[in-house]
Amino acid sequence: MTEQSTKSLRLGVVAAILLGLVGTGFGIYQFVKEKDLAQEIANVKSTVNQVKDAEGVTFKSKAEFEAAVAESINKFVAQKQQSDIDQKYAQFEAAPEKVEEGKHIYGDLGARFTLVEFSDMECPFCKRFHDTPKQIVDASKGNVNWQWKHMPLDFHNPAAHKEALAAECIAEQKGNRGFWVFVNDIFQHTQGNGGGVADLASVVTGVGADLDAFRECLGSGKYEDKVEADIQKAKSYGVNGTPATFVVDNHTGKSQLLGGAQPAQAIMAVMRKMMIESQQDDSANQ
What single DSSP character describes residue 156? G
Instruction: Return the pLDDT at 178.
Output: 98
- Count of CB atoms situated within 10 Å of the CB of 34: 9
Enter the pTM of the model: 0.76
Instruction: Return the pLDDT at 23.
Output: 40
Select the more confidently predicted residue: 236 or 39: 236
Q: Specify the amino acid at residue 156.
A: H
Q: Residue 21 — left, alpha, or beta (φ > 0 → left; ψ -120 to 50 → alpha)? A: alpha
Instruction: Return the pLDDT at 282.
Output: 83
Instruction: Return the pLDDT at 32.
Output: 47
117, 72, 49, 76: which is closest to 267 by C-alpha? 117
Select the more confidently predicted residue: 122 or 75: 122
Sequence-distant (6+) residues with CB within 8 A of 87 are: none
Stretch 127-132: mean pLDDT, rounded?
A: 98
Instruction: Return the pLDDT at 67.
Output: 75
Q: Specify the amino acid at residue 20.
A: G
User: What percent of the chain is modeled with pLDDT above 90?
Assistant: 67
Instruction: Return the pLDDT at 49.
Output: 63
User: What percent of the chain is modeled with pLDDT above 70?
Assistant: 77
User: Terminus-to-terminus CA distance in the chain, angstroms?
Assistant: 76
Contact 79, 21 (CB under 8 A): no
252, 239, 270: which is closest to 126 by C-alpha? 239
Contact 86, 116 (CB under 8 A): no
